[in-house]
Amino acid sequence: MRARTFLVTLTLFLLFFNLSIFLFSAITLKTNLDGSRERSLGEHYFIASTYGKDLYALESRGTIADAALGSLFQSYSAYYGKQGVALELSEEGRILYTSLPKGDRRSGHSQAAIPGERTVTTTKLDGRTYVSVIGNLPAPYETYTLTYLYDVSGYLSAWSRMTGMLFLLGIVLCTLLAVCLHFVLGRVFKPLRQISEASKCIAQGEYGNRIGATRHDELSEMADSFNHMAEEIQKQIGQLKLAAEQKQRFIDNFAHELRTPLTSIYGYAEYIQKVELTDEDKLAATDYIMSESRRLQNLAYQLLELATLGRSDIRREPVEIKELFRKTEETLKLKLEDCKVRLTWKCRLDAVDGDRDLLESLVVNLADNAVKACPPGGLVLLEAYMESERPVILVTDDGKGMTDEQLGRVTEAFYRVDQARSRAGGGAGLGLALCEQIAASHGAKLSFSSQIGRGTISKITFTTS
């Protein structure tokens, strides 16, 4: 691209430059020659008429015509010779006198003039160029022909020297131009080169690469949009990396979740097979096998739910909040009694749109977590109200609260704030991950805020009523 631009520009310049030199010198030559012709014509007329008058005057004074012709020619040619002009006098084609330098002299004959007319020609005589004007002397000497020869070879050689100089100058200028063009193009194409280098870097995985643009033109605009593109790519790659990391962590955790019950199941089966056991021991071992199998089953079920929730559309119907809260309390009744935790609700909202079963599962899950976090005598509060035209459901507890780090990971699959208790209860660590999915499928946002020792608030914000 750069080389091509360079060559094309240079060629075009050379073409036009040389063409203009050529035209300029041609025109100068023509104008000058035309000027010389005009002048020669005028001079010829003047010389011819004065010559005729002088001849007449000499003849009337009695000088012999031939002698007068000769002496007059001598004085004329001497006078004009100083101006680079040669004269020639002939009679009917026969040259009588000539002031041409010896080498240029033509043989005895000269061109005869057409009577009453004067002709202008450019003649070359032995390397010298003359503008010649041929015409007869005025009457009564019209038999004599006066040829006026103006030497232009000096001018011509000056012209050709100048043209040569011009072309030489042209070559020097072209060389200079080529050098300048090289640098200018280098500067002009610098952003392009930067862009191509930066794209190479990006292709190799260095997504942080940017182009520094200092000027304000089309190229810097292009650099800007390139930078924008690079930024977007970097952002997307970052998201992909994050997603991949999350997926990896999910798989790691999943493997761990599978291994723990499998260890028990395999171990107790081996124990029953290889050790002589009492009936009581056998019962205990089979109990463990069964409960751990159930745990695996639970895990499979919840994972399936998590997977299908992300894919399918949900039913939408008005769900009464009071009913929702009442059912939640009913579901958790046993647990509330066990943990000695109270549950109350404040409802300032009639209904929200959504899937009844899913919303119930969502609230029950959040309330269940709240109950687990509470010490005996704690209080769990369910609230529903409008907040800036959006329905909000709030689950508040006055339990032990969470750290910011725990808060950030709480909806991650298999993450447990309190490992021992949750596992003893048969949880797979998927509860809040499910909650988040349910909220997302309703177009709602699930957020948490917490303070150590003060309690946790879970908030569901619906985007539409």
Partner 1 sequence: MATILIVEDEKPINELIRRSLQTVGHRCVSVYDGQAAVDELAQNKYDLLLLDIMLPKMGGYEVFERIRGIPTIILTARDGLSDRVKGLTMGADDYITKPFEMLELLARVDAVLRRTRRERTGESFELDGMRIDFGSRQIYCDQQPIEYTPREFELLETLVRNRNIALSREKLLELAWGYDYEGDTRTVDVHIQRLRKKFGLEDRIKTVYKLGYRLEV
Binding site for partner 1 (CB under 8 A): 252, 255-256, 259-260, 262-264, 266-268, 270-271, 273-276, 281, 284, 288, 291-292, 418-421, 423-424
Q: Token pair for residue 387?
A: 């907040």
Q: Kind of pairing, strands 390-397 and 379-387?
A: antiparallel
User: CA-CA distance, 232 to 18, in Å (whole number)?
Assistant: 52
Instruction: Name the minimum Å distance from CB 274 to partner 1.
Output: 4
Instruction: Name the minimum Å distance from CB 334 to partner 1.
Output: 22
Instruction: Name the minimum Å distance from CB 372 to partner 1.
Output: 14
Choice between 227 and 253, CB closer to partner 1: 253
Instruction: Name the minimum Å distance from CB 265 to partner 1.
Output: 8
Instruction: Name the minimum Å distance from CB 272 to partner 1.
Output: 11
Instruction: Name the minimum Å distance from CB 249 to partner 1.
Output: 12
User: CA-CA distance, 273 to 282, in Å (whole number)?
Assistant: 10
Instruction: Name the minimum Å distance from CB 402 to partner 1.
Output: 15
Choice between 61 and 274, CB closer to partner 1: 274
Choice between 171 and 255, CB closer to partner 1: 255
Choice between 52 and 399, CB closer to partner 1: 399
CB 130 within 8 Å of CB 152: yes
Residue 7 CB coordination number (10 Å): 12
Choice between 151 and 292, CB closer to partner 1: 292
Choice between 288 and 385, CB closer to partner 1: 288
SS3 26: helix
Bridge partner residues of 257 (DSSP): none
User: CA-CA distance, 163 to 31, in Å (whole number)?
Assistant: 15
Alpha carbon of 349 to those of 191, 321, 450, 464: distances in Å?
Answer: 61, 7, 25, 14
Q: Kind of pairing, strands 119-125 and 128-136?
A: antiparallel
Choice between 257 and 355, CB closer to partner 1: 257
Instruction: Name the minimum Å distance from CB 292 to partner 1.
Output: 6
Instruction: Name the minimum Å distance from CB 420 to partner 1.
Output: 4
CB 401 within 8 Å of CB 455: yes
Q: Token pair for residue 210?
A: 């940017």
Sign of CA dihedral 346, 358, 328, 304: negative
Choice between 45 and 254, CB closer to partner 1: 254
Instruction: Write the single-letter amino acid at 197.
Output: E
Sign of CA dihedral 432, 433, 435, 439: positive
CB 395 within 8 Å of CB 458: yes
CB 363 within 8 Å of CB 400: no
CB 427 within 8 Å of CB 301: no
Choice between 67 and 283, CB closer to partner 1: 283
